[in-house]
Amino acid sequence: MRSRNGSVENRRPAVYPGSFDPVTNGHLDIIVRAARCFPRLIVAVVDNPNKRPMFSLDRRVELLREVCSAVANVEVARFEGLLVDFVRGVGAQVIVKGLRIVSDFEHEYSMAVLNRKLRGNPDTIFVPASIEYAYVSSSSVKEVFSLGGDISDFVPPVVLRAMNATRPAKAKQKIKERKLS
């Protein structure tokens, strides 16, 4: 809604949370589309000390900032602890989740209901993945990458470079040889 002086009155952000280890083209698709629906979108990267991610929290945030830099109303933040506390802290009422395949729904639905029960009564809005990303996940991308497969269609170029940089020179040589044979 616009006020008399033309400024956007309702600047309540929506929050798109995740591990983003690493951010994929599927995530980016959801970010761009969700950013069209809300005045501000905060991409919230979870700090989960129980997981051993491929990229540190700082690096995941850095990569996300890079790939989201062209979308003006997107901010990237980090959080630890409960998502609902972060959502409340930034004054949001809406959590955005991407849904790929039907099996995602069961888990996402229970998280949406649980989050509403926990605190602040936030609603979860599901954005269906575009068909070309319906099968792309951070874990499948990491698995294909670790086995020497081509993931260039699934992650932004900056992420591909960052992933390649984690690979020891010996492994790079082996993959090159396998491709030539």
For ligand PNS, the binding residues (CB under 6 A) are 17-19, 46, 82-83, 111, 114-115
Q: Which one from 4, 36, 51, 170 is the annotated catalytic residue? A: 51
Judged on CB neighbours under 10 Å (0-12, 13-18, 19+), 68 is buried
- Burial per residue of 126-162, b for 16 or more beta-carbon CB atoms within 10 angstroms, e otherwise: bbebeeebeebbbeebbeebeeeeebeebbbeebbeb
Could you tell me which of 127, 48, 41 has the C-alpha nearest to residue 92?
Answer: 41
- Please say if 51 is a catalytic residue: yes
Q: Which one from 19, 27, 40, 60 is the annotated catalytic residue? A: 27
Q: Which one from 19, 40, 97, 138 is the annotated catalytic residue? A: 138
Provide the token pair at 145: 């990458």
CB of 161 to ligand PNS, least distance (A): 22
Q: Which residue is nearest to ligand PNS (CB)?
A: 18
- Please say if 27 is a catalytic residue: yes
CB of 177 to ligand PNS, least distance (A): 34
46 vs 160 by CB, closer to ligand PNS: 46
- Which residues belong to the active site? 27, 51, 100, 138
